[in-house]
Amino acid sequence: MLAFHGNAELARWNVPWALEVARVTDACVVIPEYRGYDGVAGTPSYSNSSADARAALAFVHDSLGATRERTIYFGHSLGTAIAAELADFAAPRTLVLQAPFSSAREMGRRMFLPGLIAFWDMVSRVHFNTIDRVRTLTVPVWVAHGDNDFVIPVRMGREVFGAAKQPGELLIVPGAGHNDVAARGGAEYWRWLRRAIESGAVTATSRPAARAGTRPEP
């Protein structure tokens, strides 16, 4: 699993989550860092994030020997757009998006919110459009979102899932904000993620939105 983090995060902050992913699902998790973050040389930009994502994919394929059929892309927040862009370049087995935004244009309209200024500085100059990407992808697209997310509203997660050409499963976590979907979702979140990781070998089917603590209907 290539896991791309959000704008206000660092790769190393996600190590506890990655360890839990590995424990629950047996997946090998790689968390790339972007240039300009955590002391890495360079400046964050659309083109640099794309180059960084492709370099991470090359590492996974060339150094770890993972094939396309065994590679999953995961993204959180800004990382969902980066993961979707990479999926358009090189299809994974499955695309997993946590708190995705529909497009940079739509996020730009929310730039007045506290904490989004740095995010806006990046996305305002690019054309991230996750909805357009998932409409053409032929891989399962799984989405999780908190219904109390004030950074990226849950409606955007629903829109991304609704636009997917090959929808996997939508998980809406009651009470979860932007950064606590896993914590609030608890066991249901980990079951959802395990199903996502195991999907792709067979055709995924659309499921009703799940609520934390319950299993979706078959």
Domain assignment of residue 217, yes or no? no
Domain total in the chain: 1
Domain assignment of residue 201, yes or no? yes
For residue 28, what are the domain limits? 2-211
Tens of pLDDT, residue by residue over 128-155, are 789 999 999 999 999 999 999 988 999 9
Domain assignment of residue 156, yes or no? yes
CATH code of 120's domain: 3.40.50.1820
pLDDT in the model for residue 9: 87
Domain assignment of residue 73, yes or no? yes
pLDDT at 39 over 80: yes
Domain assignment of residue 148, yes or no? yes
Integer Cα distance of 155 and 50 in angstroms: 26
Integer Cα distance of 144 and 154 in angstroms: 9
pLDDT in the model for residue 20: 96
Q: Is the pTM of this model over 0.95?
A: no
Integer Cα distance of 32 and 14 in angstroms: 10
In contact, 94 and 140? CB cutoff 8 Å: yes
Domain assignment of residue 17, yes or no? yes
pLDDT in the model for residue 121: 53
Integer Cα distance of 174 and 99 in angstroms: 13
Domain assignment of residue 216, yes or no? no
Stretch among 80-89, 171-180, 195-204 having the lowest mean pLDDT: 195-204
Q: At 79, which amino acid appears? A: G
Tens of pLDDT, residue by residue over 179-212, are 999 999 999 999 999 999 998 754 433 333 444 4
pLDDT at 122 over 50: yes
Q: What is the 3-state secondary structure (H, E, C) of the chain?
A: CEEECCCCCCHHHHHHHHHHHHHHHCCCCECCCCCCCCCCCCCCCHHHHHHHHHHHHHHHHHCCCCCHHHCEEEEECHHHHHHHHHHHHCCCCEEEEECCCCEHHHHHCCCCCCCCHHHHHHHCCCCCEHHHHHHHCCCCEEEEEECCCCCCCHHHHHHHHHHCCCEEEEEEECCCCCCCHHHHHHHHHHHHHHHHHHCCCCCCCCCCCEECCCCCCC
Mean pLDDT of the chain: 84
